[in-house]
Amino acid sequence: MQSTLELLRSSDPDVHAAIIGEERRQREGLELIPSENYAFPEVYATNGSVFANKYAEGYPGRRYYGGQAYTDRIETLAVERAKQLFRAEHANVQPLSGSPMNQAVYMACLQPGDTVLAMDLSHGGHLTHGAPVSAMGKIFNFVRYKTSPPDGHIDYDHVRSLALDVRPKIVLCGHSSYPRELDYARFRAIADEVGALTMADVSHIGGLIAGGALANPIDAGFDIVTTTTHKSLRGPRGGLILCKSSLAQRIDQAVFPGMQGGPHMNAVAGIAVTLKLAAEPAFKAYAQQVIRNAQRLAAELLQRGCKLITGGTENHLLVIDTIQSFGIDGRVAEAALDVAGLTVNKQVIPDDPRPPLRPSGIRLGTPAMTTRGLGEAEMVLVADFMTRAMRAHEDQKTLEGIHDEVRGLCARFPVPGLE
C-alpha cells in the first residue's frame, strides 16, 4: 500500500495531497454522522486489491467471462457468511451500494404502478423509500406513514389502517433518522393481513443486528432484508440483500442483469472479510457499546438543555431540534460544529416547516466514535463540546478552541488503520 501511495505522490500530487488531507481530517476530528464509520483496516487492503481489475458478470459458477477461480471463491465466501451471520436463506452481495440494492428489490417484486407502504422521509425514512424526487418514486406508488406526536414514535394502528386502505404489495420498514427500535412482528402481522411482502431496510443498523444488539427482522419472518455494508457494519461501500429462498431467483436476476453489469469484486472481497470480523465476539461488544454510547450521549445532551426527537434513542442515532434547543437552524449548527471538529449533518425533523437545506435539526450517532474506542466517559465530553459549540456558534475563537480540545481527545483514540 505504502509503495502505491508513494507512486501517486509523484504522478498526481494534487490527488495525493487530498488523500493526505482527508486522512488528517478523519484523524483529528470526531465523526458523528450516524451513517459513517471507519472501515475495518483489512478493508483498505481489499478495496485496493487486484480484484478491482476483474469483470465478473453473473454469479459463482455461471459467469460471462473467464478467469473466475478467485472471484467465485470470494463471492461464495461472502454469500455463505452473510447467510450464517443474519440467519438468512439467501444472500446477494453484488449491489454497488444501498440505492441500487433497494431498487433491485422493487424491480424484483413489483410491477410499475404497484403500491409500497413506507416511512415518510422527514419522519425518518430514506430517499430510496419512494421520495418524489427519486426515480423509484416515479415508477411505483409509495404511500407514506408517519410518526405521531407527542412521543414521535411509529403509530402501528395508523400503519395498519393505511395498509388496509391502500393494499400495498410491500410493507417496508427501516429508516435513516428514526432513533427507536422497530416492532417487526407488528409490521409482519400488518403485511400478512393484506397479503403484502415484508421488507426491512436496515442499512443503518445492519452492524448492530449482526452484533446481536438489535432485533433481526429475519427472526420475525421478514421476506426481504436489505443493508448497506459501509455503515455500522464497517465494511466497504456496498449493499447486501437477504431474502427467503422463494425470492432468491427473482432478486438475483433483478440485481444482475436487471440493474447492474459487473459487480465490484474488490468490494465483494471486502464484504467477505467484514462478515467474518462481524461474527467475532469483539464485534458483539462493539455493537452493544455503540448503543450504550448513544444512550449516554442522549442523557448528557438532555441534561444540557437539548431537545431530542422522540426524547432519546434506542439505537445508535439522535436527532436534535436545534431551533428549539439553541434558536439556530441545522445548517448553522452543522457549520459551527464543523469548525469545532465535530462532523454532523443537518436534518429535517418530522413535518419540518423549514426547507431541507435549512432544516430544524441535526442528526448524529455513535458508530464511528465507538470504533475509535470512545466510551461512556467520553460521551460526557462530547456532549459538552457540542452544546458549547452550538451556543458559541458565532464565536470563531471559541469554536477553534473547542477543536483543540477535540484534537486532544482524538489523539487518545486513534482511528484503526490510521494510527
Annotated binding site for (6S)-5,6,7,8-tetrahydrofolate: 121, 125-127
Question: Is 55 annotated as catalytic?
Answer: yes
307 is catalytic: no
The CA distance from 367 to 405, in Å, is: 21
Nearer to ligand PLP, 115 or 177 (CB): 177
Size of the chain in residues: 419
Query: Whole-number minimum distance, CB 67 to ligand PLP, in Å?
Result: 28
Residue nearest to ligand PLP (CB): 98
Best CA proximity match to 226, nearest among 368, 317, 107, 59: 107
Cα–Cα dist 360/137, whole Å: 25
Selected range binding ligand PLP among 54-62, 96-104, 149-157, 266-274, rule: CB under 6 A: 96-104
**Which amino acid, residue 109?**
C
- Closer to ligand PLP at the Cβ: 176 or 366? 176
Instruction: Assess whether 201 carries a catalytic annotation.
Output: yes
- Applying CB under 6 A, which of residues 71, 94, 103, 176 lies at the interface with ligand PLP? 176
For 131, the 3-state DSSP assignment is coil
Q: Is 223 a catalytic residue?
A: no
Q: Which stretch binds ligand PLP (CB under 6 A): 98-106, 157-165, 214-222, 288-296?
A: 98-106
Q: Does 207 interact with ligand PLP (rule: CB under 6 A)?
A: no
179 binds ligand PLP (CB under 6 A): no
Residue 31 pairs in a beta bridge with 343
In terms of CB distance, is 178 or 286 closer to ligand PLP? 178
Q: What is the CB neighbour count within 10 angstroms for residue 127?
A: 15
In the list 35, 315, 366, 387, the residue contacting ligand PLP (rule: CB under 6 A) is 35
List, as own/partner pairs, every contact residues 295-301 make where C-beta atoms lie below 8 angstroms and the sequence separation is at least 24, other chains included.
296/376, 296/379, 296/380, 297/364, 297/366, 297/379, 297/382, 297/383, 300/379, 300/380, 300/382, 300/383, 300/384, 301/383, 301/386, 301/387
Q: Does 330 bind ligand PLP (CB under 6 A)?
A: no
φ and ψ at 366, to 5 degrees? -110, 0
Question: Does residue 345 interact with ligand PLP by CB under 6 A?
Answer: no
List contacts with ligand PLP (CB under 6 A).
Answer: 35, 97-99, 102, 126, 128, 174-176, 201, 203-204, 228
